[in-house]
A = this chain, B = another copy of it.
Amino acid sequence: MTTEPENLMTPAEVAARFRVDPKTVTRWANQGRLTSIRTLGGHRRYRETEINALLTATPPHGR
């Protein structure tokens, strides 16, 4: 299927994952660093899969 429904997240939800201000998420979207989908009223929604992919940790390489 070419049109799979995506789980969307609100700015506040994305901000909570990254521990940043919702405004910062908006800035990322404006800069094109984040895919944003607009509601008819102009509010942004974000793809959950993309957020999870960007949320990668660098684990300690112990010792």
Residue A28 contacts which of B8, B34, B40, B56 (CB distance < 8 angstroms)? B40
Q: How many copies does the complex hold?
A: 2
Residue A19 contacts which of B9, B34, B40 (CB distance < 8 angstroms)? B9
CB distance from A55 to the nearest CB of B (A): 7
Tell me if B8 and A18 are in contact (CB < 8 A).
yes
Given A3-B52, A47-B57, A57-B47, A18-B34 contact (CB < 8 Å): no
Q: Which residues of B contact A16 (CB under 8 A)?
A: 5
- In whole angstroms, what is the CA distance A60 to B28 when docked? 9
A contact set with B: CB distance below 8 Å: 3, 5, 8-10, 16-20, 24, 28-29, 32-41, 45, 47, 52, 54-62
